[in-house]
């Protein structure tokens, strides 16, 4: 395996979606820039990646506070998601993670644990023919506290009927890995697009 697992006999695999299963972060960033440029709102690429895993509305609220703006959150969240959906024909899987999905599918249960809306997660996975691989999806709206709080991962473990200590998490962000640690789970860091070794 290109991404080695930590030591352990894991009974469930929990995957973040964007930037982990699907190589969607560059497409999401283009969608963000399309919207934010119209409102004169800065959003450097390094900040975008640092905030990976945050729900979209939370990001809009934070940007409004940081820059003294009054962007209409609900309207722009919907527009931003549509911009991303328009790019789904360009979407690809992250090969190192797909390797684990193909190898372990049917042997242990899988969950997706994402800060994105359910519609975004399902459309991304369906675009790659992967939606039916997962036993449950935990998305924005399914929990009260987003990553780095452990709640999203703990909900997934409970749904799968697996103890947190028996779960391994695949994540591409520090916030996601902090959430996995707080949940008492093992984890695998998925490289960001600029850190991946070309095949």
Task: Kindly tell me the burial class for residue 122, based on how many C-beta atoms sit within 10 Å of its own C-beta (0-12, 13-18, 19 or more).
Answer: middle
Confidence of residue 27 (pLDDT cuts 50, 70, 90): very high
**What pLDDT shows up at residue 198?**
54
Predicted local distance difference test score (pLDDT) of residue 52? 84
- Cα separation of 141 and 154, whole Å? 15
For residues 119 and 115, what is the distance between their CA atoms, to the nearest angstrom?
A: 12
16 SS3 class? coil
Architecture of the domain delimited by 25-88: Orthogonal Bundle (1.10)
Fold for 12-24+92-195, please state it. Answer: Rossmann fold (3.40.50)
Q: Which of 16, 18, 23, 172 is catalytic?
A: 16
pLDDT at 96: 94
| pLDDT recorded at residue 192 | 81
Q: Where are the domains of the chain?
A: 12-24+92-195, 25-88
For residue 54, the model assigns a pLDDT of: 87
- The alpha carbon of 91 is separated from its chain's Cα centroid by a whole number of angstroms, namely 14
Q: Identify the CA nearest to 26 among candidates 75, 88, 76.
A: 88
Rg, the chain, Cα only: 16
Residue 50 pLDDT class (50, 70, 90 cuts): confident
Q: How far apart are CA 174 and CA 127, in angstroms?
A: 27
Mean pLDDT throughout 147-176? Answer: 97
* Residue 154 token pair: 């703990």
What average pLDDT score do residues 171-182 get? 95
- Collapsing DSSP states into helix, strand and coil, what is residue 41? coil
Give me the mean pLDDT over the 24-50 stretch: 95
Of 174, 179, 127, 172, the closest CA to residue 157 belongs to 179
Give the pLDDT mean for 140-158: 96
Q: What is the mean pLDDT of residues 21-27?
A: 95
Say whether pLDDT at 196 is over 70: no
Q: What is the pLDDT of residues 107-126, one digit of tens each?
A: 999 999 999 999 999 999 99
* pLDDT average, residue stretch 131-143: 97
pLDDT score for 107: 97
Active site annotation includes 16 = yes
Percent of the chain residues past pLDDT 90, beyond the cut? 91
């Amino acid at each position: 395996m290109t991404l080695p697992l930590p030591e352990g006999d894991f009974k469930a695999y929990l995957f973040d979606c964007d930037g982990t299963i699907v190589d969607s972060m560059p497409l999401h960033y283009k969608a963000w820039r399309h919207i934010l440029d119209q409102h004169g709102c800065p959003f450097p690429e390094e900040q975008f990646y640092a905030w990976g895993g945050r729900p979209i509305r939370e990001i809009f609220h934070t940007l409004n506070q940081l820059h003294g703006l009054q962007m209409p959150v609900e309207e722009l969240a919907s527009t931003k998601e549509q911009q991303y959906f328009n790019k789904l024909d360009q979407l690809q899987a992250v090969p190192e993670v797909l390797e684990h999905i193909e190898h372990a599918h049917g042997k242990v249960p899988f969950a997706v644990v994402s800060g994105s809306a359910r519609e975004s997660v399902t459309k991304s996975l369906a675009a790659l023919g992967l939606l039916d691989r997962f036993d449950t999806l935990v998305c924005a709206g399914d929990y009260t506290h987003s990553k780095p709080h452990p709640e999203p991962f703990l909900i997934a473990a409970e749904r799968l009927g697996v103890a947190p200590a028996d779960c391994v998490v695949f994540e591409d962000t520090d916030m996601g890995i902090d959430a996995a640690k707080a949940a008492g789970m093992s984890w695998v860091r998925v490289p960001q697009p600029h850190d991946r070794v070309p095949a």
